[in-house]
Structure 1
Amino acid sequence: MNSAKADSAFNKRTIAAALANYIDAGSIVAGSAGLSMWVSYLKLSDSQIGLLGAFSANAISAAVGALLGGYLADKVGRKAVYTNSMLVYALGICLVLFGMNFPMLLSGYMIIGISVGADITASWTIIAENAPKRNRARHCGVAQVAWAAGAVVVLMLSVLVGDLGLLGNKIVFAHLLVIALITYILRIRLPESEAWKDQSKQPQAEGAVLVNKTSYLNLLKPTFLKKIMFLMGVYLIWNLAAGVMGFFMPYIYQQVGGVSANMANLLQMGLFIFTGLGVAFIFMPFADKYRKTVFGICAFMAVIGWSLFLMPVQGMPILLLFIVAMGINNGAGQQANYQLWASELFPTEYRASAQGLMFFLVRISIGVWSLFVPMIMTNFGIGFMAAILLGCVTASMIIGLVFAPNTSGKSLEEIQEDLYGTPAAKQGNDRKIM
C-alpha cells in the first residue's frame, strides 16, 4: 500500500514537472508558426524579425532563463522556481495575446523564453531527484514524451485554425496559457524535492527559507568541468544538427523532396510523432537496464539519417526514412540520455546550476550557428550542410560511447559517492537557514 502511494506520488510529481517540456516545445513551434502573421500585422522590419528569432524560446531568452533558473533552483529550492515560472510564463503569453505593437510582442517572447529556460532546469532536476533509482529513465522519459506531444499538438492546432490567420495563432498560444495555469495548480500542491531539503544538517524551521551558497564559479573546478565537457561533447555538438532540424527542416523537405509547404509541415509532425514513439517504446522500457546499448543504437540512427541526404537519388522515400531514423534518435538518443546524465553527474547542491549553465551554452550556440545555416545551404548546398551535420552527430555518438558513465540502477546518492567519495551533505556545505 505504501509502495503504491509512493509510486503514485512519483507519477504526479513527474507529470507535473514534465509539462515544462510540453510548454517549451509548444512555445517554440507556436512562435515559429505565427511569425509570418505577426510580420504582416505589425509590418515588422527584417531587424525586428531577427530580434524575435534571437530572443525567442528557442534561443537567447531561454538561455538566460536557464542560467538564472538553475542558480535559483539550487539556491532557494526546485519548487520555488518550477512553480513561479508558470506565472511568469502566463504573463508572457498574455503580452502576446494582447500584443498591439512590436515592444509588447518582443517582451512577450522574451518573458516566455526566460520562464521556459528556468522551468526546464528546475523540472529536469526534480524529476531525476524524485524518480526511483531503477526507473529513472522511465520517469525522465515522460518529459521527452511531453516535448514531442507539445510540438505535435501545436502543429495540429495550427493547421486546424490556420484559416483564422493571426487569431488562429493566438488561439494556439491561449491553449498554452491554459496548460501553464493547470501546471501551476498541480505543482503548488506538491512538496519540495527531498534531495534538496536533505542537504541541510539542521532541521528546517517552520516557514523558513533554505538558502544554498552555490556559485557558477565552482562549476569551473576540474572535477565538474570534466563532466561539463563530456556532456557538451554529447549534447551541444548534437544540438547543432538538432537546431537545424527544428527550424530549417520544412525548407529542406521542400528543397530535397519537392513537396508542398503543407506536406513539409506534415512530415515535421511525423518526425515529432516518431520522437514520442522512440521515447515510449525504446528509451523508457530499456534505458534503465541497457543504457549504453540504447544510446549507441539510437545515436547511430542520426548518423543514418543525415547520411541519407548524401545519396545521389533524393525524393519522398528518403524523407520518410529520415523522419523515422531521426525521430528514433530524438526520442532515445542524445537528448534523453543527456537529461539523465546531467542530473546524475553532479551533487545535489550544483545539480540544477550545472544544467542551467549547459542549457545556456547549448541555446546560445544554436542561436549563433543558425545565423550561418542559410548562408551555407545557399552557397554550398543542402548536401554540404548534411555532411557537416553528419560529422556533428558522429562525433557526439563517439564521445557518448567512449566516455558514458556507468550509472544505471544506482540512486543519485550512490552515484555521488562513486564520483565524489561521499555525499556533499556529509562533507558539510555552505547552506544556511534564513
Structure 2
Amino acid sequence: MSGATQRANRPWKTATLAGMASYLDSGALVTSGIAIGGSYAGALGLDAGTIGALLGLQTLMFAAGALVGGRLGDRFGRRRIFSLSLVLYAAGIALLLIAASTGLLYLGVIAVGFAIGADLPVSLALINEEAPEGKKGRLVVYSGMLWLAGIVAVVVLSSIVGSWGVLGGRIMFAHLLGVAVIVLILRMTLRESAEWAAARQAVDTHVDTERVHFSRVGQLFRPPVLFAVVATGLYYASWNLGASTLGSFGTYLWTTLTGGGVAEFSQLTLLGLPVGFVAGLIFMRAIDRPSRNFWFVGGSILILVAWALPALLGPSRFTLVAVLLVSGLGNAFAGESIYKVWSQELVPTLLRSTSSGLTMAFTRVIAGLAAFGTPALAAANPRLLFALLFGFTLVATVIGLFWVPKLPKASQIEQPLVTGKSSTSNSESLRAEMS
C-alpha cells in the first residue's frame, strides 16, 4: 500500500478507534441499567434505592471524569490520556463482570463512569485534529454513529441473554470488556495529534510571544473563548434534558402514563434506531457543507414538534410514540451531533478537550439533578413536564440558530502556527517524528 493511501485511510482509522469511546459509553450506560437494574438485582439483593444510587453515581463520575480528563488531555496529550482512561474502563467493567457484592458494584461504576467521562472529550479532539480539512465535521458526527452502534449491540445481546439472570448480566459486561481490550490494543498504533503537538510546542518554547496562546484554563472564562463555552454548554444541557428524560424514564413514562408494556416500548425503541442511523449517514455528508444549516433547522423543528405534542394534547400512546420517533429523527441533525462539531470548531486546540469536558460535565450534572424530580412531576402533572421539556428545547434551538453562528471559529482566533498556512511544514515534520 502506498504512503498516500495510508495517509488517506488514517483519519478514518483514528475516527473509528477514538470514536469507540462513544460505543463504550452508550454500551456501559445501557448494560449497567439492564444488568444492575435487572439481572443482578435479585441475586445480589439490590433494592430500588441501591440501584438508583449505583446508576446515579456512574453518571456523576462521568461528569468528574470529563472535567479531569479533558484538562489532562490538553496538557499532556490526547493519546496518553485516552489510553489510560481505557485501561481504567476495562478494570471497572471487569469488576462489574465478577461482582458478587454491592461493594464491587460501587467500585465498578465509579471506575467506568470516570473513565468514559475522561475518554470522550479527548477522543473527540483527536478525531477533529487528525481529520483533513473539509471532513472534520463528518468524522466527528461518525463518532455519534458509533454511539448508536453501542446501543444496538447491547439491545440485541440483551434480547438473547437478558432472561438468563446473573449469567446474562455477566455475558453483557464480558462483551464490553472484550471490545475495550481490543480497542485498547489497536489504539496503541495511533500517533499523537500533530495539531496538539504543534500548539503545545509553540507554548512551551514561547514561539511568537507577541500573540496570545490559548492554553491557560483562565482563558476559558474570558472572551472570546468564554462565549463559545457558554453557548455550547447551554445548548447541550438544554437539549439534553429531553433526550436524557426519554432515555432514562421512557419506559417509566410509557408504562405509567399509557399503560403500555416494557417489551412493547423496547420494540418501539428498536424501530427508531435504524431511522436515526440512516439520518446520521445523511448528516455526515452535509455537515461540512453550507447545507448543514438547512438540516440543523429541520432537525430542530422536528424535536420541537415532538415535545409539543404531549404538552398540548397530553400523554398518550400516539404522542409518546411521536416523541420517540420524531425526536429521534430530529436528533440526527441537531442535539448532540451538532454540539460535538461546534465544541471542536469553536475552541482553540489547547483548550478544546478542557472545554468539552466542562460542557459535558455541566450537562450530565443538570440531567442528573433533573432526574430526581422527573418521576414525581410525571405522575402529578405530566403536561407540565412535557411543556418544560419543550421550553428547554426551544431555548436550545434559539441558541443554535441565533447565537452560535455569530461566534468566531477557533481558526480565526488561534495563532497561525497552529491553524494557518504557516503551520503546514511544522505539522508535517511533527507527524514524521511521531509516525
Are residues 309 and 183 of structure 1, via their aligned partners in 2, closer, same or farther at CA, if it must alter by over 3 Å? same
Are residues 47 and 316 of structure 1, via their aligned partners in 2, closer, same or farther at CA, if it must alter by over 3 Å? closer
2:421 matches 1:419? no
Q: Which residue of 2 aligns with 1:243?
A: 244
Q: Which residue of 1 aligns with 2:428?
A: none
Write the distance in 1 (CA, Å) between the matches of 2:202 and 2:137: 30
Superposition pairs of residues 203-352 of structure 1, within 5 angstroms: 214-281=215-282, 283-289=283-289, 290-312=291-313, 315-352=316-353
Q: Which residue of 2 aligns with 1:207?
A: none
Write the distance in 2 (CA, Å) between the matches of 1:316 and 1:380: 17
Q: Which residue of 1 aligns with 2:88?
A: 88
Are residues 255 and 308 of structure 1, via their aligned partners in 2, closer, same or farther at CA, if it must alter by over 3 Å? farther
> Conserved in 1, the CA contact under 8 Å of 2:233 and 2:360?
no
Shift of 1:280: 1.2
Shift of 1:334: 1.7
Superposition pairs of residues 167-186 of structure 1, within 5 angstroms: 167-186=167-186
> Conserved in 1, the CA contact under 8 Å of 2:203 and 2:215?
no
Counterpart amino acid of 2:53? L
TM-score when normalising by structure 2: 0.88
- Structure 1 residues 70-79 or 223-232, which shifts more? 223-232
SS in 2 for 1:132: coil
Are residues 224 and 415 of structure 1, via their aligned partners in 2, closer, same or farther at CA, if it must alter by over 3 Å? closer
Could you tell me which of 51, 54, 60 is aligned with 1:52?
Answer: 54
Are residues 369 and 253 of structure 1, via their aligned partners in 2, closer, same or farther at CA, if it must alter by over 3 Å? same
Q: Which residue of 1 aligns with 2:405?
A: 405
Q: Which residue of 2 aligns with 1:15?
A: 16
Deviations 1:366-396 (A, max 9, x none): 1111111111111112x22111111111111
Are residues 346 and 380 of structure 1, via their aligned partners in 2, closer, same or farther at CA, if it must alter by over 3 Å? same
> Conserved in 2, the CA contact under 8 Å of 1:66 and 1:120?
yes
Write the distance in 2 (CA, Å) between the matches of 1:418 and 1:115: 33
> Conserved in 2, the CA contact under 8 Å of 1:347 and 1:424?
no
Shift of 1:319: 4.1
Write the distance in 2 (CA, Å) between the matches of 1:128 and 1:221: 24
Shift of 1:338: 0.6
> Conserved in 1, the CA contact under 8 Å of 2:40 and 2:169?
no
Deviations 1:107-145 (A, max 9, x none): 101100111001101111111111122112221121110
- Structure 1 residues 218-227 or 103-112, which shifts more? 218-227
> Conserved in 1, the CA contact under 8 Å of 2:214 and 2:351?
no
Counterpart amino acid of 1:165? G
Write the distance in 2 (CA, Å) between the matches of 1:353 and 1:97: 31
Write the distance in 2 (CA, Å) between the matches of 1:318 and 1:264: 13
Q: Which residue of 1 aligns with 2:68?
A: 68
Deviations 1:294-323 (A, max 9, x none): 211111111111122135476544444333
Write the distance in 2 (CA, Å) between the matches of 1:424 and 1:6: 20
> Conserved in 1, the CA contact under 8 Å of 2:23 and 2:147?
yes
Counterpart amino acid of 1:54? G
Write the distance in 1 (CA, Å) between the matches of 2:257 and 2:380: 16
SS in 1 for 2:405: coil
Write the distance in 2 (CA, Å) between the matches of 1:420 and 1:15: 27
Write the distance in 2 (CA, Å) between the matches of 1:330 and 1:272: 11
Could you tell me which of 20, 43, 54 is aligned with 2:45?
Answer: 43
Structure 2 gaps of 5+ residues are 206-212, 421-435
Are residues 425 and 156 of structure 1, via their aligned partners in 2, closer, same or farther at CA, if it must alter by over 3 Å? closer
> Conserved in 2, the CA contact under 8 Å of 1:273 and 1:327?
no
SS in 2 for 1:333: coil
Counterpart amino acid of 2:135? N
Number of equivalences:
410
> Conserved in 1, the CA contact under 8 Å of 2:66 and 2:118?
yes
% same residue: 27
Counterpart amino acid of 1:70? G
SS in 2 for 1:259: coil
- C-alpha root-mean-square deviation of aligned residues, in Å? 2.4
Deviations 1:327-350 (A, max 9, x none): 122222121111011011111111
Are residues 153 and 48 of structure 1, via their aligned partners in 2, closer, same or farther at CA, if it must alter by over 3 Å? same
Counterpart amino acid of 2:401? L
Write the distance in 2 (CA, Å) between the matches of 1:390 and 1:297: 16
Q: Which residue of 1 aligns with 2:210?
A: none
Are residues 213 and 312 of structure 1, via their aligned partners in 2, closer, same or farther at CA, if it must alter by over 3 Å? closer
Q: Which residue of 1 aligns with 2:208?
A: none
Write the distance in 1 (CA, Å) between the matches of 2:79 and 2:195: 12
Are residues 182 and 291 of structure 1, via their aligned partners in 2, closer, same or farther at CA, if it must alter by over 3 Å? same
Are residues 103 and 213 of structure 1, via their aligned partners in 2, closer, same or farther at CA, if it must alter by over 3 Å? farther
Write the distance in 2 (CA, Å) between the matches of 1:65 and 1:151: 21
- Structure 1 residues 271-280 or 169-178, which shifts more? 271-280
